[in-house]
Amino acid sequence: MRTPIPDFTQKELSGIATILQRRYGGDVALELADSELLLDSVEGALTECPTAYWRARGAQFVIFKVADAGYRCQFFYTDADHYGTGRDEYDNLATCVLTLLRVQADHERDSAQASSHATHADPSGGEYQGPAIL
C-alpha cells in the first residue's frame, strides 16, 4: 500500500504564488484540491494527490504533487482540451511551474497565429493574396 502523499508545504505554495505574481503582474487566486491519479499502471490503483489549481488568460492550470518531491502538471481549456509539457514528472517545483507556463504561453501564441492565418485564407482553401485588382 502506498503511503499518503504529503500536502503542499507553505514554502511550496509561496514559491508557486511568487512565480505566478511575476508572470501575471499581480496576485492570482491559488486554490487547493485533491485529485486521483494513476501513478503506477502496474498497481492499477488511483492515488489521492494534493493539487494546486489556478486560472489565468482563459486557461486552467494544475500542479499535482505525486511524491514528497515529485510533481506533474497540465493546463486545459475544456474537459476535452488538456495539454502537458511533454515531461511526465519533475523533482523541482519551480521548474515544473515555469515549464508549464512557458508551454501554455507558446500554445497561446501558436493558437493566435493559427487564428490570424485562418482569417486571411480564402474560402476555397487557398492562401489570401491581398485584394483583387479588377
CB neighbour class for 65 (10 Å; exposed up to 12, middle 13-18, buried from 19):
buried
Residue 30: name the closest of 15, 46, 47 by CA.
Answer: 15
Inter-residue contact 99 to 87 (CB < 8 Å): yes
Nine cell digits for residue 103:
508551454
**For residue 70, what is its C-alpha cell?**
515529485
What is the pLDDT, as a whole number, of residue 26?
Answer: 95
pLDDT < 50: residue spans in the chain = 120-134
**Radius of gyration from C-alpha coordinates of the chain:** 19
What DSSP state is assigned to residue 44? -
Rounded to whole angstroms, how far apart are CA atoms 14 and 16?
A: 5
Three-class SS state of 15: helix
- Give the whole-number percent of the chain exceeding pLDDT 70: 84
Predicted model pTM: 0.81
- The domain segmentation of the chain, as residue ranges, is 10-116
Instruction: Provide the grid cell at 129.
Output: 493574396
Q: What is the predicted pLDDT for the residue at 128?
A: 38
pLDDT value of position 132: 39
